[in-house]
Chain A
Amino acid sequence: MSARPTTPGQDPLYETISRVLRHNIRSGRLPEGFVLIEGPIAKLMQTSRAPVQASLRILNAEGLIHRFRGRGYLVGDGATSLTPIRKSLEEFGFEIPDVSRSALAVRGTWQRVYDKVEAEIAACQIFGEFRVIETELANHLGVSRTVARDVLSRLNERGLIRKGATSHWLAGPLTARTLREKFELRSIMEPAALMQASDYIDHAQIMQVSAHIESGKAKNSAQLEDELMRLCLGRTPNSALVEIISNNRLLLSAMDKALSDLGLPVDPVALDQYQTLFELIGSRQIDAAAAYLREHLRVLSFKSVARLKIVALIPESESLPPYLTPVI
């Protein structure tokens, strides 16, 4: 596997992460038997999972951590048998040294740039098909073409753009067919993830969400959809599944956001459905919750197709970023 150029003029990200983990293990902050899982580390360091995976493999080779029968790695060389300690990193005073923190901060800037471009590219697709021009993107962001290319290849990995026949980057169009296909995928994957995640869901948190909906504090379904992902689906031990689910949702949430920016009011029926869903999950009726989630997605798919129709009446946004040109 060839390392992708990421942050220009910096060490590869996995080396920064490895340094931080080594520091915390050698200083004794993370005790022997502590369970290291990619997700929480990635979150704490504000990176994607891939460099964390790479870094854990390196530490494993160095003998600082080792594989065990569960998910992730245990701190220690594995010579003695240990009881796995499943706690959060923060509880053990996990520390990110300043020098690494600034390396990660540069990386964070990159992430923000990426997030902005991702949002723009996802949002334009309801208006049709667009060419993404690499040089214009680099100029627009004030970064090198290498960085622009890196942004584009990440977008490509996440399924937001593709190469056309003439090797140009293309985005969109988001059609009713694309929408339906994405919802079809959702209704296959998300109920499955919910079932798998069942034993890892924190029910106190779910009851809190239910209470929020009940009291009218939960304002829109986008927020509840995020909670569903964060507190339920994202808890499945199958991290590959979680990743496919989030990528599949990208375009859909971009469309929702674009529509609510255009003035789409809150859908009270959808809020009611989330309430039922969280109540089922909270009362551990997981089979029923999975079936209900499927039905909820069916209705949502139908409504989304209908809502997309109004976009036909709206001219392409005049504030399209300069690196996008419509394909006619």
Chain B
Amino acid sequence: MHRLASPPNHKRRVLRVRGTDVTLLEEVRKMAVADLGIDIEHESLDFLTCQHLAAVDPTGYDVYEQCFHNLDIVWYWGALQPIQTDRINQWDHIGDLAKDGGISKYTWQGHGDAPVRKLYVQPDGTLGQQPMPTISMLPTAHNVDSFGFDRRLFGDEGPEGSSWAWLLDRRARGRIALVDEPAIGIFDAALAAEANGDLTFQDIGNMTVDEIDSLMALLETLRQQGFFAGSWVTPDEAEAFIQTDRVSVQSMWSPSYGNLGEMAGIFRESVPREGYRAWHGGASLARHLEGAKLDMAYDYLNWWLTGPAGALMARQGHYMTNSKGVREYLSPEEWGYWYDGDPARCDLKGPDGKIVVRTGQRRPGGAYRERVSRIALWNTVMDEYNYAARSWNRFIRTLGSSTT
């Protein structure tokens, strides 16, 4: 009788990642586990809980995957440690959007928290855009967002594109939904209010208390006039609003457009003439990491830039900072559709294997460079965030959700 070899006795090392479902995909986790030979635990939380716990429970995770716009909250709470760029193998291949603020010096950076303004760790411990040898967050997935609209009501976009004004358009009264997250939803509403002439903001990316009051008063008036069908927290809820035909226009994120089923041809992603609302994700290191644990976290950060993760991100519409690496892991058809804005030469699958793009479709807004050169503003945690988020949350609580 053969004795069975006993299983190897050494314990596998574990890396704990806290973040949101924007980047914490099961497919990403499995690939990283296979490539790095370590165990990875995902803790996927909603945006607000994630920020809060990252700040006040800094030992509960090793890597924090979130967005640059809410990095402030965690950074100034002392929960993270600076990342040395000389330990990031692909640092030189990270695109200019994150490192310089725009893809060329002629493009407008956009209002609000452009990632470069929070990227480099300055000698006084603050974050700024003066290049330094350490950074706060490794820039990874990013995208530009707009809103989704029903062609049956608004028709097709003309040559000038659509306008953010549609999001608060009287024609859609009673069939409008907004995303619940204050650092995002408030800007969808503000862009709409400014586009339709109701309000003007001196700096929409850093509103004053008076401007916030005016915006909230406007939204309250519209709510009383029955404009809103509700608000949503997760993309599933946004999709449910559409599948149950309860909205004609609403805040929308890229991955949802692939999950609309029969409504796919009817509900379209807008290309707003005022420009997009952009966001930039990334990964940061917890303050407590040191020694072998820190090395492991650096391995994981480096892995993010090698390509496979970026390919998964691309299949739900998000871009990666090291697009060169991503290209090797996408089929030419996928690369053509997602990055180059070409019409799809075949049906394309999403990260979970379901078809999200049909042959012949073209990505609204076109190629990467076209889209990211039209950023109106970035998701932002404004100086008056505490004030704004409290007013916003009071407003949101008076709206229903997609399940009510």
Residue pair B394, A309 in contact (C-beta under 8 Å): no
Cβ of A181 to closest chain B Cβ, rounded Å: 12
B154 interface contact, C-beta 8 A: no
CA distance A314 to B48 in the complex (A): 10
A209 within 8 A of B: no
List residues 23-37 of chain A with CB under 8 A from any CB of chain B.
none
| Count of A-B residue pairs with CB < 8 Å | 76
A263 to chain B: which residues have CB within 8 Å?
Answer: 56
> Cβ of A99 < 8 Å from any Cβ of B?
no
Complex contact B76–A303 (CB within 8 A): yes
Q: Is the CB of B55 within 8 A of A310?
A: yes
List residues of chain B with CB within 8 A of the CB of A268: 125
- Confirm or deny: A265 has a beta carbon within 8 angstroms of a beta carbon on chain B: yes
Question: What mask results when residues 383 to 404 of chain B are scored 1 for a CB within 8 Å of chain A, else 0?
Answer: 1111111100010000000000
Asked whether, in the complex, the Cβ of B51 is within 8 Å of the Cβ of A313, the reply is yes
Chain B proximity of A127: nearest CB distance (Å): 8
- How many residues on chain B are close to A (CB under 8 Å)? 28
The yes or no answer to B348 lying at the interface (CB within 8 A) is no
Does B385 contact A312, Cβ atoms closer than 8 Å? yes
Given contacts A175-B387, A269-B124, A307-B76, whether A312 and B182 have CB atoms under 8 Å apart is yes
Does B72 lie within 8 Å of A306, measured CB to CB?
yes
Q: Main SS of chain A's interface residues?
A: helix
Rounded to whole Å, the gap between the CB of A183 and the closest CB of chain B is 12
**Are B390 and A128 in contact, with the CB atoms below 8 A?**
yes
- A177–B77 touching, CB < 8 Å: no
Contacts A126-B386, A309-B386: A177 and B76 contacting too (C-beta < 8 A)? no
Pick the residue among B52, B75, B208, B381 that contacts A177 (CB under 8 A).
B208
Q: Which residues of A contact B76 (CB under 8 A)?
A: 303, 306-307, 309-310
**A141 interfacial contact with B, CB 8 Å:** no
B17: shortest Cβ distance to chain A, in Å?
20
A173 at the binding interface (Cβ < 8 Å): yes
Q: How far is the CA of A299 from the CA of B394 in the complex (A)?
A: 32
Residues of B within 8 A of A305 (CB): 383
Which of A264, A265, A299 meets B126, CB within 8 Å?
A299
Q: Which of B345-404 contact A (CB under 8 A)?
A: 381-390, 394
Q: Are B384 and A175 in contact (CB under 8 A)?
A: yes
Check if B77 sits within 8 Å of A310, measured CB to CB: yes
The answer to whether B209 has its CB under 8 Å from any CB of chain A is yes
How far does the Cβ of B117 sit from chain A's closest Cβ, in whole Å?
Answer: 12
Q: Which single residue of chain B is at the shortest CB-CB distance from A273?
A: B124
Give the residue of A128, A173, A180, A307 whose beta carbon is less than 8 angstroms from that of B77.
A307
CB distance from A93 to the nearest CB of B (A): 50
User: Is A311 an interface residue when CB atoms closer than 8 A count as contact?
Assistant: yes
A328 at the binding interface (Cβ < 8 Å): yes
User: In the assembled complex, how far is the CB of residue B50 from the closest CB belonging to chain A, in whole angstroms?
Assistant: 10
- B73 contacts chain A at the CB level, 8 A cutoff: yes
CB distance from B277 to the nearest CB of A (A): 19
In the assembled complex, A176 has its CB within 8 A of some CB on chain B: yes
* Seed contacts A176-B387, A264-B77; 16 additional CB < 8 Å A-B pairs: A128-B387, A175-B209, A177-B208, A180-B383, A269-B125, A299-B124, A303-B76, A307-B77, A308-B386, A309-B386, A310-B51, A310-B77, A312-B385, A312-B386, A313-B48, A313-B51
* 26 contacting pairs across A/B (C-beta < 8 A): A126-B386, A127-B390, A128-B390, A173-B387, A175-B384, A175-B386, A176-B383, A263-B56, A264-B77, A264-B78, A267-B78, A299-B125, A299-B126, A305-B383, A307-B77, A309-B72, A309-B76, A309-B381, A309-B386, A310-B51, A310-B77, A311-B386, A312-B182, A312-B385, A313-B51, A313-B389
